[in-house]
Chain A
Amino acid sequence: MSEVPRSATEPGAFSEWLRRSTWVDHVLLAIRISVAALVLVGLAGGLTAGTYSAADFVSFTMFGLTIGSIYALIALGYTMVYGILRMINFAHGDVMMIGSFAGLFAAGALNDAGLVNALPLLALPLVLAAGMAGGAAMSLIIERIAYRPFLHVRSLAPLICAIGMSFVLQYAARGLFGTRNRAYPGFGWMEGTVSLFGLIVPIPQIVAFIAALIVLAGLLALVKLSPLGKAMRAVAEDRDAAALVGINVGAVIVATFAIGGAMAGVAGVLYALVFKQITVFMGFALGVKGFAAAILGGIGNLGGALLGGLVLGLAEALGPALVLEGFGLPAPYQLKDVIGYGMLVMILIFRPQGLLGERLASKRA
């Protein structure tokens, strides 16, 4: 990347940049300027159009944070597996779907047992636990069947296998659960809305956001503070060296998949609580979003996954209202994904390591 001129007034700085830069630098600079101009014009137009009140924007932000925290949970699974195995687990979105269905069946069983009515506050943690267990179990099975055989193989095979697993899970679920949309229960107390600073916010959104933060904090604590976390970081740093100092690499990989699957299961249940209906094919689109969040934040970086998820969620929720509205586009919400993925492309062009980058020893970077 070219050196940024120290000061425009300094004689020769600009000509020095011109001399050293190539046409690629010029094109990239032109892209930067035009994207910035597009966004600024859109922002100015969107804010002056006055279609939405301030309360609307706050409510979009709240929603962006909710969906963003769910993206973050999914992104964590991608990032953890990538950090350790250098492999993208494309079946991760479908693990989330399995977790979501596990939660659905648990909720149905609890409802039949009368527990939802008797102990409404306990039902939610139990359903979340079922989702985590379902996701973790599925993730372990996938690791055992599809990835472990490729552990010491350097090829594209694990990637292709991951894509295959994704289809196997989708269509197995289709055969078992059917293609219809399944309604998710709401446990009575979660059905309503609360008033926060004059804003009406649905309770499931708040629950999902807080639950996601708690789970994320727990995961970060596990990775930073526990012996298992230390082992995981060591394996991520250098698998052979970790094995040499007595770390059971196989066990660490299994643990990583289990934790990633559990995160996906939580994400699946929280997603279903917010959106109230699930299908067997929902994993794919959400998986891609989670993957995008992981890339955005810097794949392999846990904090980056969190940041990437929130940024993607906010961009999707606010982008159409803030930027596209300014251009007077008809039906701007159809272009929601254009903003999210356009941002991803920009990140890949200008900061390929992601927002936070991967914090690894320099030899791995």
Chain B
Amino acid sequence: MNKVFFSAATLAAVLLAASGSRAETLGPVTDALGVVKITKGQPIQIGGYSSQSGGDTNQGIDELRGAEIAIKDAGGKVLGFPVKLLGEDAQCTAEGGQTAATKLAGNKQIVAVLGPSCSSGARVGAPILWKLGIPSVAIGATAPALTAADRPDGFKGFLRVVPNDLKSAAFTASYAYDKLGVKTAATIHDGSPYTEQLVRAFEKNFVAKGGTIVASEAVSPTDTDLRPVLTRIATKKPELIFTPVFTSTVGFLMRQKDEVAGLAGTKVIGGEGVFSANVIEAVGPKIVGFHIVGPSTDLFSERFPIFVKNFTAEYGEAPIGGFSAYGYDAALLTMAAIKEVGKTDAEGNLYIGRQALHDAMMATKALPGLTGALTCDTHGDCGAATYAIWEFTSDDQSSFAPGTNPKRIFP
């Protein structure tokens, strides 16, 4: 009996020691989460996971190419050590994120990971990496929950350079209240986490500014008849309706809005989910004057056009939208932090403390990135908000071109 108790106690002690502290001293560095030693002449390894296959392939490939350009712009080296980017495919799914993160986590030389492209992959992948002390910098995952104050511990090592959806809500609320001078607004979401979180954030910001939310409604994505909802909203007489719902719902909403008495003059602002040519067909003639809030590459730093030129020269094709710029900034932020915490010994070997690297990344302030100045908050949101309000100017589908249709009207 005593023997059993003794072995159990030993086992417990060993387990405690193993899980409680991973502190390690290697060369000149002592770190709570472990130290990566890079022998002289060997590369610093940075992992990357993005959508390399599936529907979002173009986005994912562009993102990691952007990161490669950032490494190239830095001369391919940090602290005299070459930087190597190891790309993995995270698709745009939870399973893909898990596979890629597990594969990257198996490589003990990896100091940080860039990616992923999608929130679903980040939800699974980021904790796998952080469990081993590897911080990750997302390039496309925008879901607010990933950097919420009450996020699980597994996401404490998660940062992102792409703006949180909440920033788009704050931007829209400020446009509505400060620019348009609107005092009453109504919102409609479709029950999906994305639209609901966005709508709630908009309401919070709008009310904080002094506005009033007169109606907070919901539909389902399959609803076709929105007249009753609109009638209900009309009874509250809002000056504006904010609804980040998707194409078909926007189509029904805009077509039916004017049939409801009292809503003909009400402005509608949609979300970036309908930033496409298809919404023009779905809405028809009523699209003219429809506003959406969406990202704008025009508002990236003045180095973006040069980046586009370098990118085109390197890969033989222009980058799609702004995805590659987020990849660039993720790599930039990571390399800046490595430069700050990396220490060499007398033999010229490099030592990077994992906790120190993470802290340095989280402490990023006013780093001049490609998408704007990067400043991380305490929860890991580092993205520079580059949103704009766009207005559709024509109902001709073939005229879709960001800049002319829809036209940027603010800022």
Contact = CB atoms under 8 A, between A and B. Distances in A.
B248 A277 contact: yes
B252 A317 contact: no
Contact of A52 (B191, B231, B278, B282): B231
A334 B281 contact: no
Nearest to B250: A181
A180 B281 contact: yes
B297 interface: no
A277 B232 contact: no
A60 interface: yes
Nearest to A285: B222
B225 A67 contact: yes
B317 interface: no
Interface in B266-307: 278, 281-282, 284
Contacts of A316: 225
A63 B278 CA distance: 27
Contacts of A279: 248
A277 B222 contact: no
A276 B250 CA distance: 12
Interface string A316-337: 1100110000000011111011
Nearest to A200: B261
A200 B259 CA distance: 8
A334 B220 contact: yes
A59 interface: yes
A336 B232 CA distance: 14
Interface residues of B, number: 27
Interface string B208-236: 00000000111110111101110110010
A193 interface: yes
Given A181-B278, A320-B228, A331 B248 contact: no
B205 interface: no
A51 B217 CA distance: 14
B408 to A, nearest CB: 24
Given A180-B278, A181-B247, A183-B284, A193 B232 contact: no
A321 B216 CA distance: 15
A275 B223 CA distance: 11
Contacts of B284: 183, 276
Nearest to B219: A333
B255 interface: yes
B251 interface: yes
A67 B223 CA distance: 12
A181 B259 contact: no
Contact of B252 (A63, A277, A332, A334): A277
Interface in B138-187: none
A331 B188 CA distance: 9
A161 to B, nearest CB: 25
B232 A51 contact: yes
B259 A321 contact: no
A275 B256 CA distance: 9
A59 B231 contact: yes
Given A331-B218, A333-B218, A337-B220, A181 B228 contact: no
B281 A276 contact: no
A238 interface: no
A60 B261 CA distance: 13
Contacts of B219: 333-334
Interface in A297-319: 316-317
Contacts of A276: 251-252, 255, 284
Contacts of A331: 216-218
Interface in A272-296: 275-277, 279, 285
A317 B278 contact: no
B217 A333 contact: yes
Given A51-B235, A181-B248, A331-B217, A321 B228 contact: yes
A277 B225 contact: no
B225 A317 contact: yes
B282 A183 contact: yes
A240 interface: no
Contacts of A200: 259, 261
Contact of A56 (B231, B252, B259, B278): B231
Contacts of B282: 181, 183, 277
A24 to B, nearest CB: 35
Contacts of B261: 200
Nearest to B190: A334
A45 interface: no
Nearest to B226: A333
Interface string B242-267: 00000110011001000101000000
Given A181-B282, A276-B284, A317-B225, 5 more contacts: A63-B225, A277-B252, A317-B228, A330-B216, A333-B228
27 contacts: A51-B232, A52-B231, A59-B231, A63-B228, A181-B278, A182-B281, A183-B251, A183-B281, A183-B282, A200-B261, A202-B259, A275-B225, A277-B252, A277-B282, A285-B222, A320-B228, A330-B216, A331-B217, A332-B232, A333-B218, A333-B219, A333-B229, A333-B232, A334-B218, A334-B219, A336-B220, A337-B220
Interface of A: 51-52, 56, 59-60, 63, 67, 180-183, 193, 200, 202, 275-277, 279, 285, 316-317, 320-321, 330-334, 336-337
Interface of B: 191, 216-220, 222-225, 227-229, 231-232, 235, 247-248, 251-252, 255, 259, 261, 278, 281-282, 284
9 closest cross-chain pairs (CB), A and B: A331-B218, A334-B218, A181-B282, A333-B229, A180-B278, A183-B281, A277-B251, A275-B224, A331-B217
